[in-house]
Amino acid sequence: MSYAIEMLNITKEFPGIKANDNVTLQVEQGEIHALLGENGAGKSTLMSILFGLYQPDEGQIKINGEPVEINDPNDANKYNIGMVHQHFKLVHNFTVLENIILGIEETKHTFIQKDTARKKVVELSEKYKLNVDPDALISDITVGMQQRVEILKMLFRDNNVLIFDEPTAVLTPQEIEELMLIMKDLVKEGKSIIFITHKLNEIKAVANRCTILRKGKYIDTVDVASTPVEKLSELMVGRKVNFIVEKDEPKLGDTVLEVKDLCYKPAHSSKNVLNNVSFDVRRGEIVCIAGIDGNGQTELVYALSGLIKHNSGQILLNGEDLSHDSIRSRTLKGIAHIPEDRHKHGLVLDYNLAENFILKDYFDPKYQNKGFIKFDKMYETANQLIDKYDVRSGEGAKSITRGMSGGNQQKAIIAREVESNSDLLIAVQPTRGLDVGAIEFIHKQLVKQRDDNKAVLLVSLELDEVMNVSDRILVMYEGEIVANLDPKQIDEKELGLYMSGSKRGEGYEK
């Protein structure tokens, strides 16, 4: 058997944690090989070793049967290995073209020769149907487009082995479908793809074989076509996972959140991003805002949480108008917020885990005395939350958050927000980037909040999550609520019609 890549008996330790413990991965020429594991199972560490970002403590890497040493990403490029990282490595104030040629620029008399590079980028973009504008600034394009730029970077360098690290975590369902087609086209060209994910349906859709890691150890390599989803999830988590969200009928109480005629127009825009949005959320229910990304969901959540100031309309919490309250005031009055962007709005990445747990109430006498933090109390709380929410990290409460896996960063935010015991929990994409075991746990937490007589406002792009978790669905399209639906009375296809603007609900006609 000729393997494009072999990673044999790889071991890598960090302080307090064995990220890879005698792991072997063998990728055949021209296959899509999935790498599956829970958050913190060691998948990204293994790929960072292959890409030269880390050095293994033990083990060997072979390319086409020949042993090699990969000391840095330049070596990886030399061996035609490319990587699309989970958090993209792009310079935001550069153009698409400048990002693609960065580090391998052709120069003549010290001037960068962009014309030949542009021609190659346009040709590659057309060949693989990537449709990227080489002159657009990275800061002006969508996350899905940014990912295409990362793919073009690999193709421009003629990489034969392509590593995709959680490539679908930030994409809309449509973008995911397009990415799958691109991946299939790439392997037809003879390239080999390593696909890191914990979305089992995506593995079934594109992968040939799948290697499973659990807690840093190699578990098995299986043929995807002949392995049921239930078996894959059991190998990954080490136990059977319930894919059905179990919940009783909602017991509705008083209205917690009331939004009246909310409008928001950004400073440099000619039209409203939010247009007369009105709805309410009551105690004991999970209301989900569904919609294709970019239809005003983000701005709505920013307005509710105080991150932006809306132009007109009212936000009432338990009957009190919060429209002009600060973020801290809204938090203290009973709004918890699991944000869409965990790095930008959820965590201070250079703080440790314990410090992040008390970000919203460090000023409470429970955690400070005369302006000095009570560290014993802070670490005591952190250890309780780590145990309760199974947050995994190398050095426990003292772990710097930046070094934790994305899924465990997410669990930390969820622990902090759920434990704040607020009347309203706004959860935006709460399971983005999480494995099936963690998703099952998060869904149980949301249902428990609702059953504890709290109000939950869920914003999700995952259609199965929208259908399974919510008691009521509000569909947003172009900044307006266009339908108020009962998930038990519609299917995903019909929901898609509302989301695309093809259909409007009763009472929401133009």
Query: What string of DSSP letters covers 268-301?
Result: T-SS-SEEEEEEEEETTEEEEEE-STTSSHHHHH
Question: Distance between CA atoms of 412 and 151, rounded to whole angstroms?
Answer: 31
Give mean pLDDT, residues 246-275: 90
428: Cβ contacts below 8 Å, ≥ 6 apart: 297, 298, 301, 337, 338, 339, 340, 459, 460
Question: Which pLDDT score is estimated for 79?
Answer: 92
462 and 323, same structural domain? yes
- Structural domain includes residue 176: yes
Whether residue 207 sits in one domain with residue 119: yes
Task: Copy the structure tokens of residue 464.
Answer: 């199965």
- Is position 380 within any domain? no
Confidence label for 428 from pLDDT (cuts 50, 70 and 90): very high
Residue 325 in contact with residue 173, Cβ under 8 Å? Answer: no
The proportion of the chain whose per-residue pLDDT surpasses 90, expressed as a percent, equals: 51
Mean of pLDDT values over 305-324? 94
pLDDT per residue as tens digits for the range 36-61 = 988 778 888 999 999 999 999 999 99
**What pLDDT is attached to residue 175?**
74
Q: Is the pLDDT of residue 193 over 90?
A: yes
pLDDT confidence tier of residue 1, bands split at 50, 70 and 90? low
Q: Are 264 and 320 in contact (CB under 8 A)?
A: no
Which one is predicted more confidently, 77 or 378? 378
Looking at the structure, do residues 464 and 321 belong to the same domain, yes or no?
A: yes
φ, ψ at 363 (rounded to 5°): -85, -5
* pLDDT score, position 116: 80
What would the DSSP string read from start to end of 71-101?
-SHHHHHHTTEEEE-SS----TTSBHHHHHH
**What value does the mean pLDDT take over residues 18-28?**
92
pLDDT of residue 165: 85
**Pair 117, 221 in one domain:** yes
Residue 190 confidence (pLDDT) above 70:
yes
196 shares its domain with 88: yes
Residue 246 has a CB neighbour count (10 Å cut-off) of 10
**What pLDDT is attached to residue 399?**
92
What's the confidence (pLDDT) of residue 461?
84
pLDDT at 100: 81
For the ranges 54-68, 113-127, 359-373, the lowest mean pLDDT is seen at 113-127
pTM: 0.73
Looking at 204, 237, 270, the residue that finishes a domain is: 237
Higher confidence at residue 146 or residue 453? 453
Give 283: exposed, middle or buried? Use CB within 10 Å, 0-12, 13-18, 19+: buried
Of 215, 231, 201, 242, give the one whose Cα is nearest residue 34: 201
Give the distance between the most distant pair of CA atoms in the chain: 74
Give the integer Cα–Cα distance in Å for 275 and 479: 5
CATH of the domain at 34: 3.40.50.300
Same-domain pairing of 188 and 46: yes
* Among the listed residues 205, 210, 208, the one whose alpha carbon sits nearest the alpha carbon of residue 177: 205
* Residue 93 pLDDT grade (very low, low, confident, very high; cuts 50, 70, 90): confident
Concatenating the DSSP letter of every residue in 186-224 gives HHHTT-EEEEEE--HHHHHHH-SEEEEEETTEEEEEEES
> In the chain, what percentage of residues exceed pLDDT 70?
97
For the segment 440-456, the average pLDDT, to the nearest whole number, is 93
Mean pLDDT confidence for 151-176:
80
Look at 143 and 370; give whichever has higher pLDDT: 370
- The average pLDDT across 451-463 equals 92
Using pLDDT thresholds of 50, 70 and 90, give the confidence band for residue 337: very high
Average pLDDT (203-221) is 92
Number of domains in the chain: 2
pLDDT of residue 156: 83
Please report whether residue 22 resides in a domain: yes
Same domain, 175 and 289: no
Q: What is the pLDDT of residue 219?
A: 93
More confident residue, 76 or 464: 76
Q: Are residues 105 and 196 in the same domain?
A: yes
**pLDDT in the model for residue 104:** 67
pLDDT at 474: 95
pLDDT of residue 379: 95
pLDDT exceeds cutoff 90 at 507 = no
165 and 281 fall within a common domain: no
**Predicted pLDDT of residue 510:** 67
- What does the pLDDT average to over 256-265? 94
- Region 479-492: mean pLDDT is 90
Is there a single domain that holds both residue 93 and residue 120? yes
Domain that holds residue 230: 3-237
Average pLDDT for 227-249:
84
> Is residue 366, in this structure, part of any structural domain at all?
no
Residues in the chain: 510
Of 186, 208, 237, which one is at a domain's C-terminal end? 237
Q: Is the pLDDT reported for residue 170 higher than 70? A: no
Average pLDDT, the chain: 88
The answer on pLDDT for 364 being more than 70 is yes
Task: Tell me which of 237, 269, 288 is where a domain ends.
Answer: 237
- Would 505 be classed as within a structural domain? no
Nearest to 484 by CA among 341, 303, 289, 333: 289
Any domain includes 402: no
Residue 147 lies in a domain: yes
Asked whether residue 303 carries a pLDDT value surpassing 80, the answer given is: yes
CA distance 115 to 101: 11
In the three-class reduction of DSSP (H, G, I as helix; E, B as strand; rest coil), residue 424 is classed as: strand
Task: Give the mean model confidence (pLDDT) for residues 334-352.
Answer: 92
pLDDT of the residue at 383: 95
Is residue 229's pLDDT more than 70? yes
**Look-up of token digits 């087609």:** 181
Residue 139 structure tokens: 């800061």
> Are 223 and 188 in a shared domain?
yes
In a domain, 415, yes or no: no
Q: Are residues 230 and 282 in the same domain?
A: no
Planar angle of CA 426, 432, 437, nearest 5 degrees: 105
